[in-house]
Amino acid sequence: MVCWQDLEESFRMKLSLTKVVNGCRLGKIKNLGKTGDHTMDIPGCLLYTKTGSAPHLTHHTLHNIHGVPAMAQLTLSSLAEHHEVLREYKEGVGKFIGMPESLLYCSLHDPVSPCPAGYVTNKSVSVWSVAGRVEMTVSKFMAIQQALQPDWFQCLSDGEVSCKEATSIKRVRKSVDRSLLFLDNCLRLQEESEVLQKSVIIGVIEGGDVMEERLRSARETAKRPVGGFLLDGFQGNPTTLETRLRLLSSVTAELPEDKPRLISGVSRPDEVLECIERGVDLFESFFPYQVTERGCALTFSFDYQPNPEETLLQQNGTQEEIKCMDQIKKMETTGCNQEITSFEINLKEKKYQEDFNPLVRGCSCYCCKNHTRAYIHHLLVTNELLAGVLLMMHNFEHYFGFFHYIREALKSDKLTQLKELIHRQAS
């Protein structure tokens, strides 16, 4: 019999809320990690990685970035195929990837790559790696986690509902039932595993777009001794999130206050704010990566208290950008350029060819301190690898800066101003 009370007490990590403003939770999670001495701020984000490495970045270039989050997100889809290697390695994935000091959260899927539907059964879930499909039963899943030894990991869950359109209630119900069954089985196996005592299972809230099922999933999952909650199935395009926001509020209302709430697949600045207002604490940082891959740089403003001159310049800039955006949208019919948001500029545009300004004036990132828009433009036109490196450094730093400002805005009761500023820039 699983003694849930013992498991609960064994959690050293502690979430303390400083304040709650408009549904937004500001606080810290303390006593994190194997040695129990790491801290994370909430609201916050996790460092996005691919196969255990920040995209395009080596240790040196990653450490050029200011404000890198204390916790990195690993994906099982990129690591499951290396199970045997990690098992033989014995010392855990953190050391293997050269990030022994970082906190690590292991999610099932990569938020950037869509998951093909039709591969979850009552007994197994599949992830998609470069090598192909990796099917995992509960025992295989837990064996992999034993080899990885992450600090947190998303429990095996049935998230397929969000991959498909028009899912039946029956299928939605099944996703909740399966996820709870997987959870109970994983918790049981964790009990029996010496190596996983210091790892924390994150329970997954499913339920698609059916309120009743969402509430059931939330209430049932909350009964289990999980370390936190992952709100799954809210990803999609901006319109789908909007319709799901009400569901989100209802779900978080059912969850205990003293455990962190993560959300998968939501990373855009405007959507981040909406979710924070509905009780979400932690986000993935894949949005800056997507921006990088389309040759763009994040330029949106989050300084809700700049000097008046700056405000004027930025406003004018934003007007320009919106005009260009409309033009571009008309030109492009396919490709990821269609997804360019108004939070970013497209460095491939000819107008940057002779622009010797940094990507963002006043930005303290390595790219902005050392290089110009003209140079980045050249690197993109000539297809040089350094383009991705420099853009990634800027985009991560800009994004982490945004989260810092969210916390500052909450601290000083300026959230409305920040929201207004972001929404003015959302297309």
Q: State which of residues 27, 43, 52, 260 lies at the interface with other proteins (CB under 8 A).
A: 52
Euclidean distance between CA atoms 406 and 368, whole angstroms: 22
Of 42 and 62, which has the nearer Cβ to other proteins?
Answer: 62
DSSP string, 196-229: TTT-EEEEEE--TT-HHHHHHHHHHHHHS--SEE
Min dist CB 133 to other proteins, Å, is 16
Decide if residue 56 touches other proteins (CB under 8 A).
yes
Beta bridge partners of 262: 230, 282
Total residues in contact with other proteins, by rule CB under 8 A = 42
Q: State which of residues 207, 265, 388, 401 lies at the interface with other proteins (CB under 8 A).
A: 388
Longest dimension (CA), the chain: 69
Give binding residues as ranges: 363, 365, 368, 394
Binding range to other proteins, per CB under 8 A, among 48-56, 261-269, 313-321, 328-336: 48-56
Distances in Å between the Cα of 40 and the Cα atoms of 80, 241, 411 are 27, 26, 16
- Which strand (E) or helix (H) includes residue 296? strand 296-298
Decide if residue 51 touches other proteins (CB under 8 A).
yes
Distances in Å between the Cα of 280 and the Cα atoms of 102, 260, 326, 417 are 22, 8, 32, 20
Binding to other proteins (CB under 8 A) within 274-333 occurs at none
Decide if residue 398 touches other proteins (CB under 8 A).
no
Binding range to other proteins, per CB under 8 A, among 148-156, 272-280, 319-327, 352-360: 352-360
Structure tokens, 177: 């039932």
Min dist CB 287 to other proteins, Å, is 17
Decide if residue 82 touches other proteins (CB under 8 A).
yes
Which positions ≥6 away from 122 have C-beta within 8 Å? 178, 181
Binding range to other proteins, per CB under 8 A, among 37-45, 148-156, 305-313, 364-372: 364-372
Helix (H, G, I), strand (E, B) or coil at 394: helix
Q: Which residue has the tokens 């700056």?
A: 310
Of 79 and 247, which has the nearer Cβ to other proteins?
Answer: 79
Decide if residue 351 touches other proteins (CB under 8 A).
no
Min dist CB 154 to other proteins, Å, is 20
Decide if residue 337 touches other proteins (CB under 8 A).
no
Count of helix runs (H) and strand runs (E) in the chain: 16, 15
Give binding residues for Zn(2+) as ranges: 363, 365, 368, 394
Angle CA 176–104–256, to nearest 5: 45
Question: Which residues contribute to the site for other proteins (CB under 8 A)?
Answer: 50-61, 64, 78, 82, 85, 88-89, 96-98, 130-131, 353-354, 356, 366, 370-372, 374-375, 378-379, 381-382, 384-386, 388-390
